[in-house]
Structures are given as structure tokens and as C-alpha cells.
Structure 1
Amino acid sequence: MFFILSKLVWFLLSPVNLAILLGGFSALLAFTRFARPARWVGLISLTALVLMAFSPLSLVLIRPLEDRFPQQDARRAPVTGIVVLGGAVGVARGDVVVNALASRMTKAVELARLHPQAKIVFAGGTASLISTATVTEADGAKLLFEGLGLDPARLIFDDKSRNTRENAVFARRLVDPKPGERWLLVTSGWHMPRAIGVFRKAGFAVEAFPVDFWSSGEARDFVRIYARAPRALEIADIGFKEWVGLVAYRLAGYTDALFPGP
């Protein structure tokens, strides 16, 4: 039920979706006796879109998330296993496709080659609420990892999980981590606080290995204006979603901290 509600609620509360829906609603109201309040609704929605698309707001939102867990030396050993969260890969027309989060996959391959004894666990099924696809993200990951030369004997796939909580719970069941083992968690930097909180709650001790950063980590993040509105809107949407997700997961009892840290 939480999975379904999260998808439905976020569709409505996504700031980009909400601004567009309000803008469309105001356009309809403009032809009624509510034309005056419609102009204010339209102005507010347009202002919100402009701020998200062209101001530093998107990076201001996502920068604290990406700063929460520092990057670490990829060569530091030993490593028992590497857990890679889905969201970056899929299958289309029988071939692998990756999206803007592809760093999760490329870093996993890099770590696998640096630590040839480590197991690679990919956690990702189908996150779509209405998907009828018969293939999962795990299928795409399998094609990618094996195509890049990783030994299939090292690979473990969870093709059932649909969200971050299920990623943690199902991955733990698959590998049954032992005390003293060292497991790395690979996911986007902005997603790492929520992911770490969920893995801790699930009893799976992992070390954060964040990748896929949107912000540069420099002072210019707070004054940078995007020339490409679609990219800025995507970052703003991701940032809002993660902050809302942190609150929702804490209220649902999926994490023990509102903003998990190192």
C-alpha cells in the first residue's frame, strides 16, 4: 500500500507537475467568473516554474543531500560485496538502456574490477505503478554487467524490489551479511541519506559510496543559473522528492533518523 500511495501522492505533489497542473487549471478558470483569482494562480505557478528552471534553487535543494556522505577511496580494501541500487538501467528492444543515473552502473563495474573477490548485488525490479513489462531493471543490469566482462558467478540479482526499502530488505535476505564483512552501497549522492537510513533499519550494515552528483561541491552551486530548463527542472524535482521521501520514510518507520548521516 505504501508503494502505491507514494506513487500517486508524488504525481500530484511533484513541484513541476503541480505547477503545470495549476497553470492549466488557471487557464481554464480564466474563461469563467473566477478570472481574477485565476490570474493569481497562473502567476504563482509560472513563477514557481521559472525559479526551478533558471535560478540556483534546484542545486540549493540537492546540495545538502549530496554533501551528507563524503566520497571514499575506491581502492580501499577488503570489500566483501557491492550493493548497487536500481534506477539507472533497463531493457528496450532486447538491448541495455541507461539513463542519467548511469554512474551507478559504471562505478559498480569499476569497483568490481578493483576488488575481484567482491560479490556484486543489484537491487531493482520494476518501479512503475502501471508497468506491464515482463523484463525488470535486474534484467538490464545482468546484460550490462556480463556484457562488460564481469563473472556471472559473482553476480546476485534482486528483481522484485520496487522502492528503496524493498531494496534493503530483499538484498539483506539474498546475501545474509555476517559481522565483520564490508559491504559498499552504490547509489546517487542525493539518494544516499535515505538509502543508508533504510539499510540500517533493515539490519544491513553498509558503507556509503555515493556517485552521480548533480552539484559541483563548489560555491558556484549557490549562484549558478541553468541555461537548460529541463535539466534544472529535473534536479529540482529530484531534490524535492528526496526531502519529502526522508520525511515519509521516517514517519512510516522505515528509518530511525530524519536525515541519516555518517
Structure 2
Amino acid sequence: MAGVLDQRARVLVAAGLSLLLLPLGLTLNPEMGLLPTGLLWLLGTSLGLFPLTFRLLLGASGLLALLTGAVLFTPFTALLVQGLVVREAPREADLIVILGGGMHCGAGELEASSLARLEKGLELWRQGYAPRITLSDTVGEIFGDARCPSLGRVALERVRALYGAAGPEVVLLPEMRTTRTEALAVAELARTRGYRRILLVTTPTHSRRAVGAFRKLGLEVWSVPSSEPRFDLALPTPADRLLALTPITREYLGLLKYRLQGWL
């Protein structure tokens, strides 16, 4: 096909293919802004200028189409999700660690994953599994906006609004940026205060990497995931499988990074 198309036709086809691939890119990275999105489309369009790069674009588009079909219409996605989830029965502990999720920086509100984690942590506290919780006092840069409020402090306000002085003891972990920094902070907290048993709360697809990072530091941890607010964890529809693609991709890349760094 590349050999029979002139340069103008190749560029037009490349522009169309790049436009069709943009939703997949935005699924993998929902935070991608307008400028990076436009530059990505221009880069894809420019591949039509030369026969070799155009053939590479056609090959990549075909491969992505096959992968997308596997994600949407086969059990492949469910198998990938199962490999990420660690779910264990809660037990009496010294501390409930609620890992940080996302923030809506403009509104200064907790994103759905953060709310789900906080809700699960408070549920465990109400059930008497531990007298205290941790919240991650984040820095705005991790959400791409230095002015973004701290996730932990917004969550703390919510806890106080719900329970007042009758609420759980709350420990803020300062300047948290990643799951790794949260694990290091909790390990230091456990060492200085003598905490032994920890219940770890995060969203299901993040649980394998999270519990592995904590156990690598010698902590006695049980993984008690929250509900999954972003998609139906049973993956009954192609739409759910597509929505699951973002956390799945991030977590498998995260697992690879953590293993290479020796954090798992």
C-alpha cells in the first residue's frame, strides 16, 4: 500500500490513523494535556512523509488494532487484572495504612480512587481492626500542579468532618510522592513507635505492587483492597475492559520499574 500512495495521500492516511489512535493514548494517560496530544498527532502525521516510516505506522496500527480487540473481546484483560490483585482477610493490627490515590486539583477534591481507599480504611477502623490510620501528605508536583492541595490534608478534613474528636488517631506521612516513599515512611514509623501488624488499603489493581513494596522492607502487612471505583472489577462489558486498560498498563510498568530498582 505504501508503495502505491504518493506523499500527499500517505500524509492524509497517517493523519487519520493518528487521530484514531489518540483515544487509545488518552486512555493510557488521561492526564495528557492539549499540547502533548496535538504534538503526538503531528508526529504521527509526519510519519506519512516517507514510505519507510509510513509502513512502520501501518504495522503499528495493525498491531494495536489486534491488541485492542484482545483487550475488548477476550478474557485477556481479566487475566491481567487477576495478576494484579492481592486480597487478604483483615485481622487485628496496630495501624491501617491508606495509600494516596488521585486529586482533582482544580476543585481541591479527592478523586474517586482516593475516596474509595479512605472509605475502606475508615470501615476497617470502625470494625475495630486498628485504632489509627495513616494519610499521605502529598506534594502538588506529583499531580502535575504545584498548587494542588495535599491529598492527606483534604482527606483529614473529611475524617474530622465525619467523626470529629471521636474519629481515629490520624498519622500524616509528610511529603509523599510515590508508593515507595509511603512504604519507607511507614517502615520508619513502625520502627520508632513499635507497630508490628499493618493493614494496607489501596485500590485492587495497585495492591500487588503496594504490598510487595511494603513487605520488601520487612513489614508485616495484610492487603485489604478497597472497591474499584473506575470500572466494574468483574469486567462484564468491553467498556469496562477499556477503562481497565489505564490502571493495568500503569501497574505492570510500575511492577517492572520496582523490580528493576530492587524495591520488590
Normalised by the size of structure 2, how large is the TM-score? Answer: 0.70
- Tell me the alpha carbon deviations over residues 141-172 of structure 1, each in whole angstroms, 9 at most, x when there is no partner: 11221122154671111141111110011123
Is 2:75 aligned against 1:79? no
Question: Is the 1:65–1:191 contact (alpha carbons within 8 Å) kept by the matching residues of 2?
Answer: yes
Measure, in 1, the Cα distance between the counterparts of 2:26 and 2:142: 16
Question: Do the aligned partners of residues 225 and 135 (structure 1) sit closer, same or farther apart at CA in structure 2, a change above 3 Å counting?
Answer: closer
Is 2:189 aligned against 1:178? no
**Which of 65, 78, 84 pairs up with 1:65?**
84
Normalised by the size of structure 1, how large is the TM-score? Answer: 0.70
- Tell me the alpha carbon deviations over residues 207-255 of structure 1, each in whole angstroms, 9 at most, x when there is no partner: 2112234533xxxx5xx441x3xx4333122112222222221221112
Question: Do the aligned partners of residues 65 and 37 (structure 1) sit closer, same or farther apart at CA in structure 2, a change above 3 Å counting?
Answer: closer
How far residue 104 of structure 1 moved from its aligned partner, in angstroms, is 0.8
Question: Do the aligned partners of residues 41 and 203 (structure 1) sit closer, same or farther apart at CA in structure 2, a change above 3 Å counting?
Answer: closer
Measure, in 1, the Cα distance between the counterparts of 2:216 and 2:187: 11
Question: Is the 1:23–1:41 contact (alpha carbons within 8 Å) kept by the matching residues of 2?
Answer: no
* 2:124 equivalent in structure 1: 111
Measure, in 2, the Cα distance between the counterparts of 1:22 and 1:65: 30
- Tell me the alpha carbon deviations over residues 113-148 of structure 1, each in whole angstroms, 9 at most, x when there is no partner: 122861111135136264212521112211221122
Is 2:149 aligned against 1:149? no
How far residue 89 of structure 1 moved from its aligned partner, in angstroms, is 5.0
Measure, in 2, the Cα distance between the counterparts of 1:244 and 1:157: 28
* 1:44 equivalent in structure 2: 63
How far residue 200 of structure 1 moved from its aligned partner, in angstroms, is 1.9
**How many residue pairs align between the two structures?**
225
User: What stretches of structure 2 of length at least 5 have no aligned partner?
Assistant: 1-24, 30-36
* 1:246 equivalent in structure 2: 255
Larger radius of gyration: 2
Question: Is the 2:138–2:152 contact (alpha carbons within 8 Å) kept by the matching residues of 1?
Answer: yes
Matched letter for residue 185 of structure 1: L
- Tell me the alpha carbon deviations over residues 46-102 of structure 1, each in whole angstroms, 9 at most, x when there is no partner: 444454455543322112222xx33425xx4x33221100004566545x3332453
Question: Do the aligned partners of residues 70 and 132 (structure 1) sit closer, same or farther apart at CA in structure 2, a change above 3 Å counting?
Answer: closer
Question: Do the aligned partners of residues 92 and 30 (structure 1) sit closer, same or farther apart at CA in structure 2, a change above 3 Å counting?
Answer: closer
Question: Is the 2:202–2:224 contact (alpha carbons within 8 Å) kept by the matching residues of 1?
Answer: yes
Give percent identity, aligned residues only.
23
**Which of 6, 16, 21 pairs up with 2:28?**
16
Question: Do the aligned partners of residues 58 and 22 (structure 1) sit closer, same or farther apart at CA in structure 2, a change above 3 Å counting?
Answer: farther
Q: Looking at secondary structure, tell me which structure has more helix per residue.
A: 2
* 1:138 equivalent in structure 2: 152
Matched letter for residue 191 of structure 1: H
Matched letter for residue 183 of structure 2: A
Measure, in 1, the Cα distance between the counterparts of 2:183 and 2:243: 25
Matched letter for residue 132 of structure 2: K
* 1:212 equivalent in structure 2: 227
Question: Do the aligned partners of residues 70 and 99 (structure 1) sit closer, same or farther apart at CA in structure 2, a change above 3 Å counting?
Answer: closer
Q: Secondary structure in 1 aligned to 2:142?
A: coil
Is 2:211 aligned against 1:191? no
Matched letter for residue 134 of structure 2: V
